[in-house]
């Protein structure tokens, strides 16, 4: 039953995984320029990176909320503002007609892994995403079982999502399809994030 309760939060996280950002673009560019194996190295690195981020974010949040219960309302406000910020960024991307997809050439498996891990661990979007997820779905910090389950699920989702990108874009022809969908995907996600952000902020009592 607890697994079912985590599905909405997991769905929101998966949406973030599939939205084009630094990690997704790095995986795609590596797969196009250096092939499937190096693209898969990026996927492994993204799974490891999310495992580390999730562990830090969820255990830290659980301890923090336990000590300061009133902090939850502040996090909800922060999460709502972040979602509106994401919304603005994605809608802005959807209106940009000059997006180009570059490729990363001659990467080895090891160098692709460490580059992708560095992108993941230094990506500010990852931190703000976790703040938004925790504020929208506080159930993921409710008890050790939920925390551990969501850490594992989020790491698997990150790996599988980026592995799909690596598989698809190891074919250069896929970049044409990607660029044709890039703008509408960002627009739809931007509208969705705006809805979630407003929902959070208007639900504050």
Q: What is residue 91's predicted lDDT score, i.e. its pLDDT?
A: 83
Q: pLDDT digit string (tens) for 10-34?
A: 888 888 777 767 788 788 888 887 8
Q: Which residues contact 182 (CB under 8 A, 6 or more apart)?
A: 20, 93, 99
Opening angle at CA 18, ends 198 and 97, nearest 5:
80
**Mean pLDDT, rounded, of the chain:** 80
User: What percent of the chain lies above the pLDDT cut of 90?
Assistant: 20
Model pLDDT, residue 41: 95
Domain count, the chain: 1
- Nearest in space to 10 (alpha carbons), one of 109, 120, 157, 113: 157
What's the pTM value of the predicted model, to 2 decimals?
0.73
Three-state secondary structure along 90-106?
HHHHHCCCCCCCCCCCC
Domain that holds residue 84: 2-202
Residues 6+ apart with CB under 8 A from 43: 27, 116, 159, 160, 161, 162, 163, 165, 166
Two structure tokens written together for 136: 């929208």
| pLDDT at 203 exceeding the cut of 60 | yes
């Amino acid at each position: 039953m607890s697994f079912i309760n985590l599905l909405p939060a997991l769905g929101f996280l998966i949406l973030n995984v599939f939205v084009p950002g630094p990690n997704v673009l790095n995986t795609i560019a590596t797969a196009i320029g250096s092939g499937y194996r190096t693209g898969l190295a990026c996927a492994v690195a993204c799974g490891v990176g999310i495992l580390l981020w999730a562990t830090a974010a969820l255990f830290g949040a659980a301890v923090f909320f336990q000590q300061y219960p009133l902090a939850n309302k502040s996090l909800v406000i922060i999460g709502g503002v972040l979602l509106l910020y994401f919304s603005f960024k994605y809608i802005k991307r959807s209106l940009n007609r000059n997006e180009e997809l570059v490729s990363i050439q001659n990467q080895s498996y090891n160098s692709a892994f460490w580059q992708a891990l560095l992108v993941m661990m230094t990506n500010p979007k990852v931190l703000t995403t976790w703040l938004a997820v925790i504020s929208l779905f506080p159930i993921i910090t409710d008890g050790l079982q939920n925390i551990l389950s969501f850490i594992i699920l989020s790491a698997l989702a990150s790996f599988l999502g980026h592995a799909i990108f690596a598989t698809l874009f190891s074919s250069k022809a896929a970049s044409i399809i990607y660029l044709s969908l890039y703008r509408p995907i960002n627009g739809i996600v931007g509208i969705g994030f705006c809805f979630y952000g407003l929902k959070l902020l208007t639900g504050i009592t």
